[in-house]
């Protein structure tokens, strides 16, 4: 005898309360194995494949791709037991009779027993309901999921639409565009976000402006000033505007930066440094053979050495206890720009790593960020952040501290500039370094000492030997 179990969106950890469906990995009628990934979701932290703890036949899915669901909302239902095992059609098999009593032992045997965060898979806590394929209940659930998605499903039954990005599909739904009417500018006709935005602008241009109402005689009322209506100005200013929801990674970044500005009294100091010797040292290390050493890895080694001298900057503030908590390990975050937005992966125990180990870990985390496979654990727990904004071709910046950390080191581009070297004017490789710090954990003397030590190591890499 089979029973239908409902699998709900589990708590994915790190305080996350919702996730967006990016891609379904199974369809209704598919047979799934225990712990098989069934859906790919995007949280504020990372892209995650969610495994289903039940084995059986998928009888219903809830939510279209691009829909945002809260933790605990139904994801799908699975027919577990006789119908699933025998290949019978769910909803028509006698084992799915609505009068059948729940088979607790069968459900336990068909679940993995693995406990997702906040979701005990083997416990009977998951609400169970029986759904017949094609039944009014199933139809209503599907209709509800379409309503939540904000518009009609763009992927109809007349053939696939050449769209990969769920963000593009969602943007089209929000503006009522039929993607089948668009010609993609991407490879093999792929519809890109720019194609959708152009279609939105064309649609706004084609929309005729409302005809002006015929003037009517004004009532005989004296007024000190003519009445002014702001509505037409607002409407004109927003014509053709594109609204982008602040959620996912962008929403998480917005919340964190806003909190940092609200809570942390930050200050910034900066200094120019001659990086010629550092660049020469890196070139010599890479010329000797072996794994290549990245510039970011050398800067990370300098940061960890400076934090050993100034531990105040590797700390956090406990407002409830009114204490500064100095941390023993340096979990070094580094800012990385990806297609999904700005992410800050964390290198654990950076103070104990060599330049080779740091280079390898930076490369691994950067690639994971670009492919969208960073886990929540890769993006949390940082104690100090290194921000190399020089890759964008800029010299300086005043970074916003990555809450709840106490400081961030910013590195600008390294470019040839006139520089006084050994008493003579010369062209040297110059970089601007900036340090934004929480003024609650230290004063300017400590921050200046940290930044000066970093600059000294950049100018004379041999200074690092004293810290080894």
CA neighbor of 283 nearest in space, from 465, 461, 419, 421: 461
Please, which residues have CB within 8 angstroms of residue 112's CB and are 6 or more apart in sequence? 34, 35, 51, 53, 121, 122
Question: Which residue in 175, 310, 421, 439 is the catalytic one?
Answer: 439
H or E element in which residue 193 lies = helix 193-206
- Interatomic CA distance for residues 176 and 151, integer angstroms: 7
- Interatomic CA distance for residues 429 and 388, integer angstroms: 16
Is 439 one of the annotated active-site residues of the chain? yes
Do residues 47 and 22 lie in contact, with contact meaning Cβ atoms separated by under 8 Å? yes
Please, which residues have CB within 8 angstroms of residue 427's CB and are 6 or more apart in sequence? 416, 417, 418, 419
The DSSP code for 390 is: G
- Interatomic CA distance for residues 410 and 399, integer angstroms: 7
Pair of tokens at residue 48? 């995650």
- Interatomic CA distance for residues 135 and 463, integer angstroms: 74
- Interatomic CA distance for residues 427 and 425, integer angstroms: 7
Beta bridge mates, 431: 273
- Interatomic CA distance for residues 145 and 174, integer angstroms: 15
How big, in percent rounded to 5, are the helix, strand and coil portions of the chain?
A: 35, 25, 40
Q: Each residue of 356-370: b (16+ CB within 10 Å) or e?
A: eebbbbbeebbebbe
Length of the chain (residues): 468
Active site residues: 439
């Amino acid at each position: 005898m089979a029973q239908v179990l409902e699998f709900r969106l589990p708590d994915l950890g790190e305080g996350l309360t919702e996730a967006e469906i990016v891609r379904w990995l199974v369809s209704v009628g598919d047979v799934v194995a225990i712990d098989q990934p069934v859906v790919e979701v995007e949280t504020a932290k990372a892209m995650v494949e969610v495994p289903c703890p039940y084995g059986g036949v998928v009888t219903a899915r809830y939510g279209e791709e691009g829909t945002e669901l809260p933790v605990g909302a139904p994801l799908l239902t699975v027919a577990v037991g006789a119908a699933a095992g025998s290949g019978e059609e769910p909803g028509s098999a006698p084992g799915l009779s609505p009068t059948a009593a729940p088979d607790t032992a069968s459900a336990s045997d068909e679940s993995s027993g693995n406990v997702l965060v906040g979701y005990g898979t083997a416990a009977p806590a998951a609400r169970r309901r029986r759904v017949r394929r094609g039944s009014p209940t199933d139809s209503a659930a599907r209709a509800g999921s379409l309503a939540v998605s904000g518009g009609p499903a763009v992927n109809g039954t007349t053939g696939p639409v050449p769209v990969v990005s769920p963000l593009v599909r969602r943007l089209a739904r929000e503006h009522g565009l039929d993607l089948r009417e668009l010609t993609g500018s991407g490879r093999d006709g792929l519809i890109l976000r720019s194609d959708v935005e152009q279609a939105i602008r064309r649609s706004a241009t084609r929309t005729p402006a409302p005809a002006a109402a015929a003037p009517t005689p004004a009532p005989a009322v004296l007024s000190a000033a003519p009445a002014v209506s702001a509505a037409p100005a607002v409407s004109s200013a927003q014509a053709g505007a594109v609204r982008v929801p602040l959620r996912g990674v962008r929403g998480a970044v917005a919340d964190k930066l806003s909190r940092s500005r609200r809570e942390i009294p930050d200050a910034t100091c900066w200094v120019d440094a001659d990086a010629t010797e550092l660049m020469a040292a890196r070139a010599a290390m890479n010329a000797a053979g072996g794994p290549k050493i990245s510039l970011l890895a050398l800067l990370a080694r300098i940061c960890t050495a400076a934090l050993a001298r100034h531990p105040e900057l590797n700390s956090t503030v406990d407002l409830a206890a009114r204490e500064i908590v100095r941390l023993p390990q340096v979990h070094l975050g580094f800012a990385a720009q990806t297609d999904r937005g700005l992410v800050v992966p964390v290198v654990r125990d950076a103070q104990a790593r060599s330049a080779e180990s740091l280079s390898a870990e930076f490369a691994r985390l950067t690639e994971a960020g670009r492919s969208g496979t960073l886990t929540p654990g890769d993006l949390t727990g940082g104690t100090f952040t290194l921000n190399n904004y020089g890759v964008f071709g800029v010299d300086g910046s005043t970074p916003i501290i990555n809450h709840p950390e106490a400081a961030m080191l910013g590195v600008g581009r390294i470019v040839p500039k006139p520089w006084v070297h050994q008493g003579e004017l010369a062209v040297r490789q110059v970089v601007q370094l900036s340090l934004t710090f929480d003024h609650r954990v230290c004063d300017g003397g400590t921050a200046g000492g940290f930044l000066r030590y970093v600059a000294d190591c950049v100018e004379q890499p041999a200074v690092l030997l004293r810290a080894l």
